Amino acid sequence: MENQSAAYYIRTLNLLPHPESGHYKETFRSARQVNRVGAEDVKQACTSIYYLLENDDFSGFHRIASDELWYFHKGAPLLIHVIGPEGNLISHELSDLDTGNFSVIVEAGSWFAAKIKTGAGFTLVSCAVAPGFDFNEFEMAKRDELIVKFPQHQELLTRLCRK
């Protein structure tokens, strides 16, 4: 069925290739601005994107300076792997199945990655970031450094870190 394919959503939502993997489109950037406690720069209060991953696409381990909320829309279950500051790993399933949740919160500063659970099909989600997303606060993981810091997660980090 055409309206259940990745190509349909990429075309209909005018999604663009994401620099990391998959496809995306910014859908909201708040006109309101906020300051973080202790920070001098001003940020948008909130930003939001559509994000689509397909088959073996994945969002590699990275972290941002804001909280990020993920919302499930369509497709296959998505696993979001989150490593907290103490090294604890939590894997959340974002899906409409009994085993999943319709939304997942990733706390600011946590390392996280996302991949389709089975590696097949597609997943369409939205991601909202508050204060708003800014590439200046985005950090891609360096595989070797994260493995040294969290050796207990070496297998997962090897699979879901870009370098």
- Domains of the chain by start residue, with CATH: 6-160 (2.60.120.10)
Residue 40, pLDDT above cutoff 70: yes
- Beta pairing, strands 89-94 & 78-83: antiparallel
Residue 1, pLDDT above cutoff 70: no
pLDDT value of residue 163: 78
Residue 4, pLDDT above cutoff 90: no
Strand partners, 93: 79
Helix spans in the chain (H): 6-12, 143-149, 154-160
3-state helix, strand, coil in the chain (%, to 5): 20, 45, 35
Residue 38, pLDDT above cutoff 90: no
- pLDDT level of residue 3 (50, 70, 90 thresholds): low
